[in-house]
Amino acid sequence: MSLIKRLERSGKRLLISAVCTTVRTPKIPVEEIRAMAPRSVLVVRQHHQMGDMLLATPAFRAIKKSCENPEVGVVCRKINRAVLLNHPHVDQVFEYNNRNPLSWLRLLLNIRRRRYDMVIVLHTMSFSFTSAVLGLLSGAKVRVGSTSEPFGSRLSEAFYHCELPLPAPAELEHMNESEHNLYPLRAIGIDTPNLEPLLVPDGQSEHWADEFLEEHPGAGETVVVHPGAGKVENIWSPESFADVLNQLGERRKIRLFAVEGPGDAETVTAFRAKSRIPSAVVRSRRIGDIAALFKRADLVLCNDTGIMHVAAAAGATVLAVFGPTDPVRWAPLSPTLHVVRAADGNLQQLTAATVCEKAVAVLDGARGERVP
């Protein structure tokens, strides 16, 4: 570990210790929190992953529906701003930039102007000291958040008027992450039976998608493929995706598009070099544009990655290839999502023929019952 990293960690430990010593937050019973009818709620969820944010959107729905339609604001990273804009359950989006100290001041001023009645710090897989501080400085009248005890600290006791429970490890093992996000909120009466993620493209994106498809006419079913992924261990080879499309193209007519995200150029090039079906490449587009295109496709074929979550949240028909990640825990709970998982999580053992058969079944049953 570098000296700078060691100094950063030492400084953070000292800061945490100082905060725990000086911050004292009076407790409010759960029953009183349940009885509140906040007119405005701020959710702090400044984690980086797009998929994790979309898995949290059912929690935003629950807050909006359970609290008599309050104004809902969300603090997020830049990468997640696009998936929350135009969202029916989010009224304000505040962008958190950890690399710019001046942005902290602007962010806090913007938040405090709203005079939120309640702040909910939504963390599940770890306790975020930064998120807790943002909640503390938000100026909200009431602060609630998940307990930090499972992560080996009592920080949440210092920050929150009400600490919310988290599931035990054995219970969490088979719990979907959307359910996980809702688990602590249920303690204060916030719940929803609808755990589907949601992403709503704006009118501009819808218009772009219509024009794009008009500019790229073709016969057959529209298939959009995204062969890349942010995590190397989640990448099924682009050549394997090409094999799937080649086999699928022998059985039905296909109009093919390939989505290229940041860092995907080499992967998309390898896919197109092996694919016998001509394809147009979609690159450097807004998330809303990509989501609108997905909605118009007969099938979106992709790895277990953020794009999968975007497609599912937009309501597209998706076939996602899973490897080491357990889809029970991490796949979005969308009725239009279909999954094929490699045996023992080993993507090297997954054949193109297996995925092609599943793709055919999905296309044949996309407008009927969900393919198991």
- Residue 372: pLDDT band with limits 50, 70, 90: very low
- How far is residue 366 from each of residues 227, 255, 297, 319, 371, measured CA to CA in Å? 21, 17, 11, 11, 8
Say if residue 261's pLDDT is above 50: yes
With bands split at pLDDT 50, 70 and 90, how would you rate the model's confidence at 187?
very high
The pLDDT of residue 330 is above 50: yes
Residue 323 has pLDDT above 80, yes or no: yes
Neighbours of 366 (CB within 10 A): 17
Mean pLDDT for all residues in the chain: 91
Q: What is the pLDDT of residue 368?
A: 43
- Does 293 score more than 70 pLDDT? yes
In this predicted structure, the answer to whether residue 369 has a pLDDT above a threshold of 90 is no
Does 270 have pLDDT greater than 70? yes
Task: Band the pLDDT of 126: cuts 50, 70, 90.
Answer: confident
CA 102 from chain centre, in angstroms, equals 27
**Cβ proximity of 254 and 248 under 8 Å:** yes
Query: Looking at residue 104, what is its pLDDT?
Result: 86
Stretch 149-172: mean pLDDT, rounded? 89
pLDDT band at 371 (very low <50, low <70, confident <90, very high): very low
At 35-84, the pLDDT tens digits run 999 999 999 998 888 999 999 999 999 999 998 899 999 999 999 999 99
What number of H helices and E strands is found in the chain? 17, 12
Looking at the chain, the domain(s) classified CATH 3.40.50.2000 span 23-186, 203-365
Number of Cβ atoms within 10 Å of the Cβ of 102 = 8
Over 80: is that where the pLDDT of 101 sits?
Answer: no
In the structure, what pLDDT confidence band is assigned to residue 7 with cuts at 50, 70 and 90? Answer: low
Q: Which fold has domain 203-365?
A: Rossmann fold (3.40.50)
Q: What is the CA radius of gyration of the chain?
A: 22
Tell me, yes or no, if the pTM score tops 0.95.
no
Residue 75 to residues 12, 66, 131, Cα–Cα distance (Å): 22, 20, 9
Band (pLDDT 50/70/90 cuts) for residue 360 is very high
Residue 9: which pLDDT band, with cuts at 50, 70 and 90?
A: low
Residue-wise DSSP of 235-293 = ---HHHHHHHHHHHHTTS-EEEEEEE-TT-HHHHHHHHHH-SS-EEEEES--HHHHHHH
- CATH fold of 23-186 reads Rossmann fold (3.40.50)
Q: Per residue in 271-295, is it b (16+ CB within 10 Å) or e — as a string?
A: bbeebebebeebeebebbbbbbbbb
**What digits encode the pLDDT tens for the residues 188-215?**
999 999 999 999 999 999 999 999 999 9
Query: Rounded mean pLDDT of 149-157?
Result: 82
pLDDT of residue 102: 81
